Chains A and B, each alone.
Chain A
Amino acid sequence: MEHVSLAGRIFRGVALTLILVFFMFPIFWILLMSFQTNEQILRIPPRIYFEPTLANYEALISGQLRTAAGNLQISFMRNLFNSFVLSSAAVVLALLLGVPAAYAFARYKFRLGETIAFTLLSFRFAPPLLVLLPLSLYYQQLGLNDTYFGIVWVYQLIALPLILWIVRGYFEDMSPDIEHAYRLAGHSWREAFTRIAVPLAGPGIAAAGLLSFIFCWNNFVFALILASADKQPVTVGALAFVTASGIQYGQIAAAIVLSVMPTLLLALYAQRYLVEGLSLGAVKG
C-alpha cells in the first residue's frame, strides 16, 4: 500500500465516517422506529432512549392492524411471500433466457445482433411510467392483469437486460478456445456451453442474478398498476399502512426492516461473488 500522510489519513477517516453516517443513519433510525409506538415516534423532540415494544412486529405477523379507527386486516406476510415468489421466478426465468442469449451475443456475430442487444439494454433506460399505460391495456386484453405470470413477465424488463449485459461481458472475457478444445475432444457445442462456459462464468452469473433479484424486489410501479392486493409485493403492500386515521410509522418501520432483510442477507452472503463477478475479467481462465 502506498504511504499516505497523517493529514491524508485523518481526512480519509473523517470522509468515510461522514459517508457511512449519511447512508447508515436512516436505516439505523428505522430500526429504532420499528420498536417504538406511534406516539413515541411522533414525540418532539425525538429521543434515542425509549421502552422498546414488539407490537409492530406482532401486528405485521398476525395481520391485524390496530388503529384509532378500529382493526384493519393487512396482508403484509402475504406481500412478503409475493415479493419472494415474484422476484425469484423473474430471476430464474431471466437466467434461463438471458444466459444462453448472452452467450450467443458474445460468441457469434450475426445480423442485427448488436441492434437486438442494444434494444434489450434500452429497456433499462425507458422510465417504467412511459410503458405502463399501453402495457396495462395490453395486459387487460390478454388477461395477464393481476396474475403472477404477468408480473414475472413484466419483471423481465428489469432482470433480462441486466443479466444479458453482465453475463455477456463475462463470456466475452473468456477465451473461446477453452470451449474449442472441449469440442475438439468430441463434444457438441451444447455440451461446451453447459459444461464449460456456464461453470466458468459462474461468479458473473451469480452476481447478475443477485443484482436483478434486488432490482425486482425493489420494484414498485409495475406491481402497483398490474397487480391487485393478493398478488402485490411488499413495496406496494406498504401503502396499506397509510390508513384513514393516520400513517402507522411504527409498522412501516418494522415492515421495512422485515422486507430489507432477505435482500440484505442475500447480498451479505454473496458479497464475494458480487465483487468478483462485477469486476469483469478478475477470474480469467
Chain B
Amino acid sequence: MGTLELRDLDKVYRSRGKPPVHAVRSLNMNIEKGEIVALLGSSGCGKTSTLRMIAGFESVTAGSIALRGRRIDELPPARRKVAMAFEGYSLYPPLTVRQNIAFALKSQQLSRSEVSRRVDTVARLVEIDDILESFPRAISGGQQQRVSLARALVRYADLYLLDEPMGQLEPQLRAVLRGRIKNLLAEREMTAIFVTHDQTEASALADRIAVMEDGVLQQFASEKELKNRPANLFVASFIGEPPMNLLAADVARSDGGFGLSIGSDISFQMRGDALGHTAQKALGELSRVRVGIRPQKIAVGTGDARVRVVSNQWLGDQSHIAGECAGNLLIAVIPSRIAARPGDIVQFALEPRHLHIFGPDDACIHHAEVS
C-alpha cells in the first residue's frame, strides 16, 4: 500500500450552456513514501486538476483519494496535511517574505525561535535569505516563486504538491535548486508530486514520471522505462528531444519473420525470434503499422536509406539533421559535424533492432532493443 493512493479518480467540469469537460478520467496511481513523482503533460491534460483534487480545491467527481491510509477526498484542505506551492505564487501581499513563509507554520504552534530557525533554513536553501524582509510586490517573479516554494517546503506535511515549482527561474539557478530540493526531499523522506511540462526537470527531480494526455494517464514509470519502453504512440512521441521519428509501414509476412516497408525506399526485415510471441501474433493480423525510431539511433553516412537533407544544424555538441525520404521527414542526431547542405543526398542507417512498433490502437506491440 502506498502513501498516496488515487483510485478511479474522475473529474468532470460542468458549466451551463457548455458541454461538460472530462478533465481527468479514471486515474489510478500509487505513490510510495519518499517517492518524488512528476506529472508531465501538455497544458490542459489534467495534471493541475489532479493536483487540485488532492489538495482539496476541486471536488472529486468519482473515485477516491487516500493519504497514509485515510480517505481525504471529503476532508477540507486544512485537514489533509498537504503542503502546496502554487503556480501563481499566491503570496500574501501585506506580509513580508519572512512572514509569508512563517505563516504556513502558524497553526502548528511552534516556538518563535523554532519558526525562525526553520524559515532561515529553507530560505537559505532556495536563496532568498537576503530578501526576507521585503514585501512580495517588491521582488521579482523568480524570487516570488522561490518564496512560494519555501512556504510549502517549510511545513512538515504528509505530501508536497508543487505546481510548476521552477518555471520562472533562470536555467542556472534552476539546475542548482533542483539538486538541493531533491536532496532535501530525499533527506526528509518527503513524498512529493510536482507538475511540469519540462522533461528535463521531470527526469532530474522525479523518481517516476506520470505522463498524462487528455485526462488519461498514459504511462507511469521511471524516465528510463518511458524512454526505452513507451507504452503507446503518445508517450513515444512526447518523451525525448527531438521527438521520435514515426513512420507508417506496410507489413508483409516473410520466411522466419516480417517485412516492414516504408514507401518503396526503406524496408526492414524483422526476424521472428527477435520479436516476442505477442508481437508476432499481432503483426500477423495487421497489414499496416507505425514504426518509431529515436533520432539518436539513426546513423548518418552509412546505410541504405537515401535522404534529401532539409536542414543541418550544429548545436555545439550535436548535429540535428532533418531529411526527407519517400514523403517522410526523418531527424537524426549525431555527435559530430557533417558537411551536408540542404538538397544534398545523404545516407541514413535505420536498424531493425532500434524500431518500436505501434498497432492501430496506438499501443506499442514491440519495443526496440535496449542498448
User: Are A199 and B78 in contact, with the CB atoms below 8 A?
Assistant: no
Determine whether the beta carbon of B76 is less than 8 Å from that of A183.
yes
Indicate if the CB atoms of A180 and B78 lie closer than 8 Å. no
Instruction: Bits for A42-66, please: 1 = Cβ < 8 Å to B, else 0.
Output: 0000000000000000000000000
Is B341 interfacial (CB 8 A cutoff)? no
Q: Is the CB of B78 within 8 A of A187?
A: yes
Given contacts A177-B88, A178-B90, A285-B91, contact A184 B106 (CB under 8 A): no
Interface size class of B (residues with CB under 8 A): 20 to 34
A188, closest chain B residue (CB): B78
Segment 180-198 of A: residues with Cβ below 8 Å from B: 180-189, 196
Interface string of B76-93 (1 = CB under 8 A from A): 111110111011101111
Report the minimum CB–CB distance from A284 to chain B (whole Å): 8
Check if A188 sits within 8 Å of B76, measured CB to CB.
Answer: yes
Give the distance to chain A from B360, nearest Cβ to Cβ, in Å: 40
Shortest CB-to-CB span from A192 to chain B, Å, is: 9
Interchain CB contact under 8 A, B108 and A181: no
Say yes or no: is A3 at the interface (Cβ < 8 Å to chain B): no
Give the A-binding residues of B (Cβ under 8 A). 15, 55-57, 76-80, 82-84, 86-88, 90-94, 103-104, 106-108, 136, 151, 155
Number of A-B contacts (CB under 8 A): 62
The one of B84, B104, B106, B107 in contact with A180, judged by C-beta atoms closer than 8 angstroms, is B84
The CA of A109 and the CA of B93, in the complex, are separated in Å by: 26
Write the chain A residue with the least CB distance to B14. Answer: A109
Q: What are 20 A-B pairs with beta-carbon distances under 8 A?
A: A175-B88, A175-B90, A177-B90, A178-B91, A180-B57, A181-B86, A182-B103, A183-B77, A184-B56, A184-B77, A184-B78, A184-B83, A184-B84, A185-B78, A185-B104, A185-B106, A186-B79, A188-B78, A189-B76, A285-B90
Please measure, in the bound complex, the distance between the C-alpha atom of A176 and the C-alpha atom of B57, giving whole angstroms.
10
- A177-B90, A183-B77, A184-B80 known; 16 new pairs, CB 8 Å cut-off, are A177-B87, A178-B91, A180-B77, A182-B103, A183-B56, A184-B78, A184-B83, A184-B84, A185-B78, A185-B104, A186-B79, A186-B106, A188-B78, A199-B94, A200-B93, A285-B91
